[in-house]
């Protein structure tokens, strides 16, 4: 006569779940936030940016200009989440009107000014553990593996997306961006010249968007138009229409 199976204790189940999370797995299907650009979403597991996860964003090599682009890219992501957004800083130099133009309405943002990096990371983690926020953003200079693991676990537990904007007071600190962390993706944003217009004026800003780390995915580069008033990216028209060019040429030759 077969022996009856004993129920697995709840504590053992919780321990297994915790071990799986520490190893980078997940006990539930992870939701994603698509960019709405097929070329980008196709490179991301699940077809979008993983919610309940930590992501890093930094500017390229053009100092404050690329740093501002990284902040706008981050604001565009946060704008497309649901609920309030907590934005943690150590310096009072965030230009709120620009964040609003990226689709993140002022009424959705709660700003926290921390006195130092340690306090900022604490606010970052506490905000993620709160559970009632759509996104938590923090402008950090250094991010150790230990700190990033804590942030990743906090994001997984609440489902809020964690966005670490890497900012440095000195250029020598930028080398820390190459160190391994527990982030699911790592992005770098650099400003490109805008497309010339047929009339005098300034065209929509363009960025070089580099996906330089993607867990369970591949790295890639994208030339995109900057986020609009809804926080959405777009491919430049020359790139979006590129696949149609050979077909047009073939039709003309056939005619």
> Is residue 116 classed as helix, strand or coil in its secondary structure?
coil
CATH 3.60.20.40 fits 31-192+203-254, yes or no: no
pLDDT of the residue at 9: 52
Tokens encoding 44: 């991301």
Tokens encoding 143: 């991010």
For 12, counting Cβ atoms within 10 Å of its Cβ (0-12 exposed, 13-18 middle, 19+ buried), the class is exposed
CA distances from 230 to 75, 83, 185, 216, 234 (A): 10, 15, 22, 29, 11
Q: What is the pLDDT of residues 5-18, one digit of tens each?
A: 454 455 655 665 56
CA distances from 143 to 45, 74, 166, 169, 247 (A): 24, 17, 8, 14, 49
Residue whose pair of structure tokens reads 């919780």 in the numeric block: 14
Other Cβ atoms within 10 Å of 234 Cβ, number: 17
pLDDT of the residue at 177: 85
CA–CA gap between residue 202 and residue 225 (Å, rounded): 13
CA 86 to chain centre: 14
Q: What is the pLDDT of residues 105-130, one digit of tens each?
A: 999 999 999 989 999 999 999 999 99
- Per residue of the chain (255 residues), what is the pLDDT tens digit? 444 445 445 565 566 556 555 555 444 457 999 999 999 999 999 999 999 999 999 998 878 899 999 999 999 999 999 999 999 999 888 888 999 999 999 999 999 999 899 999 999 999 999 988 999 999 999 999 999 999 999 999 999 999 999 987 777 677 788 899 999 999 999 999 887 766 665 678 999 999 999 999 999 999 999 999 999 999 987 654 444 444 433 333 344
For 137, counting Cβ atoms within 10 Å of its Cβ (0-12 exposed, 13-18 middle, 19+ buried), the class is buried
> Is the distance from CB of 194 to CB of 205 less than 8 angstroms?
yes
Longest CA–CA separation in the chain, Å: 88
The pTM (predicted TM-score) of the whole model is 0.80
* Reduced DSSP (H G I as helix, E B as strand, rest coil) percent helix, strand, coil of the chain, to 5: 40, 25, 40
Residue whose pair of structure tokens reads 């942030």 in the numeric block: 151
pLDDT of the residue at 254: 42
């Amino acid at each position: 006569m077969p022996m009856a199976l004993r129920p697995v204790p709840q504590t053992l189940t919780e321990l297994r779940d915790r071990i799986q999370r520490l190893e980078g797995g997940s006990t539930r299907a992870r939701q994603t936030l698509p960019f709405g650009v097929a070329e980008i979403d196709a490179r991301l597991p699940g077809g979008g940016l993983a919610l309940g996860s930590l992501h890093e964003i930094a500017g390229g090599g053009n100092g404050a200009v690329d740093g501002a682009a990284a902040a706008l890219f981050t604001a565009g992501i946060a704008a497309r989440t649901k609920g309030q957004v907590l934005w943690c800083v150590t310096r009072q130099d965030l230009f709120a009107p620009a964040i609003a133009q990226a689709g993140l309405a002022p009424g959705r943002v709660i700003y926290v000014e921390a006195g130092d990096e340690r306090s900022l990371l604490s606010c970052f983690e506490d905000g993620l553990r709160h559970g009632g926020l759509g996104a938590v953003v923090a402008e950090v200079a250094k991010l150790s593996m230990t700190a990033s693991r804590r942030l990743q676990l906090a994001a997984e537990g609440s489902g809020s997306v964690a966005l670490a904007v890497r900012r440095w007071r000195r250029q020598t600190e930028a080398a820390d961006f190459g160190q391994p962390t527990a982030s699911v993706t790592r992005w770098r944003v650099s400003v490109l010249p805008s497309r010339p217009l047929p009339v005098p004026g300034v065209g929509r800003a363009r960025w070089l968007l580099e996906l330089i780390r993607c867990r369970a995915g591949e790295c890639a580069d994208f030339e995109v138009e900057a986020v609009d008033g809804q926080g959405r990216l777009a491919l430049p028209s020359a790139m979006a229409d590129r696949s149609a060019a050979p077909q047009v040429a073939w039709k003309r030759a056939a005619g």
